[in-house]
């Protein structure tokens, strides 16, 4: 039998004073209520109620079990109420994953605006350049750069993720300015160790049949590569988001704009659900409003 229903019926019998009243309240027959109580007693190994022709009385076991049942049913009712509130208005905590550079420079400022707009929503943002499993790791949404495999998730297309090549004026004054990818063979190209096989300098070299020497400096963090470029240590290839402000301020000079690899597609991924919680629905709408393709 349904143990939860049995507990509800037991509490109703005690509160209402009879099996008949409990049966009427739950639209069941009196014998069915009796079966539920008997099932509980069999499970617990003792009597919960002592019945006479005139009244019924809780046993010591019944008194303890009644109090625990009331507490459990109250907790369940509170859980149902909380779930209903989550369904009614945007509230709760969103777990979001994004790449380090995009998450730090582009997403975090937007999240500040989002949280100001929805003060009852909190955000737990995790930044990583490794692919994560949205479902297995419990994320509400992830930002993914690059082409997607079929995952069964909802994918909303965002503005492409563009790259930029740049170097400091001091470096260019010392080493000269490359005008074609072939001329990169004569330069120090700073390397990003997290690039996959088809990314970064390798992608540029294949695209233009150029020879680009192995990087003397490798790092797994774009900000460190930016700092090396600012210090005049070489030419950097990183996200436009990371380098654009330095180029605008003339701390770096944009190079080879006509030879850049094609911008990568970018998507916001989240689980398929016909009725997503309001916190996720408004987050998706906000991101599409600010970062969606025109």
Q: Is the pLDDT of residue 72 over 70?
A: yes
Helix axes 30-44, 3-16, angle to 10 degrees: 110
pLDDT at 294 over 70: no
> Quick one: average pLDDT of 17-22?
90
List, for residues 27-55, the tens digit of each pLDDT value.
Answer: 999 999 999 999 999 999 999 998 776 77
Average per-residue pLDDT in the chain?
Answer: 91
Average pLDDT over residues 118-128: 95
pLDDT in tens, 162-176: 999 999 999 999 999
Give the H or E element holding residue 249. Answer: none
Rounded to an integer, what distance in angstroms lies between the CA atom of residue 37 and that of residue 39? 5
N-terminal to C-terminal alpha carbon distance within the chain: 56
Tokens encoding 54: 């005139």
Q: Tell me, what's the pLDDT at 226?
A: 97
Would you say 290 and 282 are in contact if contact means Cβ atoms under 8 Å apart? no
Share of the chain above pLDDT 70, in %: 97
Query: For a pLDDT cut of 90, what percent of the chain falls above it?
Result: 67
- Residue that has been written with the tokens 């019926």 in this structure: 9
Give the model's confidence band at 125: pLDDT under 50 very low, under 70 low, under 90 confident, else very high. Answer: very high
Between 83 and 286, residue with greater pLDDT? 286
pLDDT of the residue at 199? 79
Question: What is the pLDDT at residue 53?
Answer: 64
pTM score of the predicted model = 0.67
Joined together, the tokens standing for residue 66 give 């009644």
Tokens of 72: 């459990």
**How confident is the model over 222-245, as a mean pLDDT?**
96
Q: How confident is the model at residue 104 (pLDDT cuts 50, 70, 90)?
A: very high
Q: Where are the beta strands (DSSP E) in the chain?
A: 49-51, 56-58, 92-98, 121-127, 141-145, 154-161, 163-167, 191-192, 218-219, 236-239, 253-255, 264-270
């Amino acid at each position: 039998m349904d143990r939860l229903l049995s507990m509800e019926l037991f509490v109703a019998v005690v509160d209402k004073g009879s099996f008949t009243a409990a049966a009427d309240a739950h639209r069941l027959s009196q014998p069915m209520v009796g079966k539920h109580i008997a099932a509980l007693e069999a499970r617990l190994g003792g009597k919960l109620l002592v019945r006479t022709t005139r009244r019924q009385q809780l046993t010591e076991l019944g008194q303890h079990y009644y109090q625990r049942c009331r507490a459990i049913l109250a907790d369940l009712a509170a859980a149902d109420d909380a779930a209903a509130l989550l369904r009614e208005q945007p509230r709760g905590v969103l777990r979001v994953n994004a790449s380090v550079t995009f998450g730090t420079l582009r997403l975090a400022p937007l999240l500040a605006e989002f949280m100001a707009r929805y003060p009852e929503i909190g955000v737990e943002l995790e930044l990583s350049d490794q692919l994560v499993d949205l479902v297995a790791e419990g994320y509400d949404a992830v930002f993914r750069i690059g082409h997607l495999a079929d995952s069964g998730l909802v994918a909303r297309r965002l503005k492409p993720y563009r790259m930029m090549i740049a170097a400091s004026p001091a470096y260019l004054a010392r080493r000269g300015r490359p005008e074609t990818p072939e001329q990169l063979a004569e330069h120090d190209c700073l390397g990003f160790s997290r690039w996959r096989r088809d990314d970064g300098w390798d992608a540029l070299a294949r695209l233009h049949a150029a020879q680009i020497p192995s990087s003397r400096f490798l790092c797994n963090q774009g900000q460190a590569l930016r700092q090396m470029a600012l210090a005049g240590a070489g030419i950097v290839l990183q996200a436009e988001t990371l380098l654009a402000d330095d180029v605008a301020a003339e701390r770096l000079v944009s190079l080879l704009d006509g030879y850049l690899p094609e911008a990568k597609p970018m998507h916001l991924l989240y689980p398929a659900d016909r009725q997503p919680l309001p916190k996720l629905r408004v987050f998706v709408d906000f991101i599409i409003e600010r970062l969606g393709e025109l």
